[in-house]
A and B are shown apart, each in its own frame.
Chain A
Amino acid sequence: DIQMTQSPSSLSASVGDTVTITCRASQNINNYLNWYQQKPGEAPKLLIYAASSLHSGVPSRFLGSGSGTDYSLTINSLQPEDVATYYCQQSYYTPRGFGGGTKVDIK
């Protein structure tokens, strides 16, 4: 199985900061990488698919990048409503495993 290593596990930043979350796959996943945002009590919400494509309705401050085994999610100008847990998921191989999550809060 492909292992997805996500870091950091948590971070705290100020409103307006730029934050970056990284996700490393144990093998090349050919940009089949999704990023989700999950708030407490809610289902995960798709932010980015295919490593860098912004899902409809998602603010442009969310940016996905990367290739091969290494990917990142950048949140530009962090907003209070961005407090959530973020997950990466590879969809190239079955099982389509997830990273362990990154909990983002505001300082």
Chain B
Amino acid sequence: EVELKESGGGLVQPGGSLRLSCVASGFTFNSYDMNWVRQAPGRGLEYISYISNSGETTYYADSVQGRFTISRDNAQNSLFLQMNSLRAEDTGVYYCTRDGLPYWGQGTLVTVSS
């Protein structure tokens, strides 16, 4: 069974940092491109970042470019999102998703507030 499990969310002050993790199981992780999607409270889904299966190609939405870094460790079946210089508008639930036949994790909540 395919599973994606995010962790690392929490409450952080504006300007702070968090590192989200996503552990994958049930499929050959190094064969799939991966993504991060977020959802602000009461809002729609926002696609924010992509990484190819090898890790060589990445993409960032303008809203996070220069502040967030996506990475992966194929040996550990893990996806990461390093989030720096966090802002109130980064508050929301962050989902790890798989490409191909898409699978989603349950999400981890990030709250940026003083």
The answer to whether A and B come from one shared complex is yes
Is B102 a contact partner of A98 (Cβ separation < 8 A)?
Answer: no
A43 adjacent to B107 (CB under 8 Å) = yes
**Cβ of A98 and Cβ of B107 under 8 Å apart?**
no
A97-B47 Cα distance, complex, nearest whole Å: 6
- Contact status B101-A43, CB under 8 Å: no
Tell me whether A43 and B105 are in contact (CB under 8 A). yes
Say whether chain B's binding surface is mostly helix, strand, loop, or mixed: strand
Chain B residues near A91 (CB-CB < 8 A): 99, 102
Across the two chains, which residue of chain A brings its CB closest to B95?
Answer: A43
* Residue B44 interfacial (CB < 8 Å): yes
Give the total of B residues in contact with A, Cβ under 8 Å. Answer: 18
Task: Answer yes or no: B106 CB below 8 A from chain A CBs.
Answer: yes
Q: Which residues of A contact B37 (CB under 8 A)?
A: 98
Q: Report whether B106 and A43 are in contact in the complex, using a CB–CB cutoff of 8 Å.
A: yes
- B67 CB to closest chain A CB (Å) equals 16
State in angstroms the CA–CA spacing of A96 and B45 once bound together: 11
Least CB distance, A73 to chain B, in whole angstroms: 15
Chain A residues with CB under 8 Å of B104's CB are: 43-44, 46
Give the interface of A toward B (CB within 8 A). Answer: 34, 36, 43-44, 46, 49, 55, 87, 89, 91, 94-98, 100-101
B44 — nearest CB in chain A belongs to which residue?
Answer: A101
Chain A CB within 10 Å, residue with most, of B45, B101, B105 = B45
A residues in contact with B68, CB < 8 Å: none
The interface of chain B, by Cβ under 8 A from chain A, is 35, 37, 44-47, 50, 59, 61, 95, 99, 101-107
Cβ-defined contact, B50 with A96, below 8 A: yes
Interchain CB contact under 8 A, A96 and B47:
yes
Interface contacts beyond A36-B45, A43-B104, A96-B47: sample of 5 additional A-B pairs, CB < 8 Å, sorted by A: A89-B47, A95-B59, A95-B61, A98-B44, A101-B45
A91 to B44, CA, bound (A): 17
Q: Give the residue among A46, A89, A96, A98 with the most B Cβ atoms within 10 A.
A: A96
User: A96 contacts which chain B residues (CB < 8 A)?
Assistant: 35, 47, 50, 99
How far apart are the CA atoms of A91 and B95 in the complex, in Å?
Answer: 16
B20 to chain A, nearest CB (A): 15
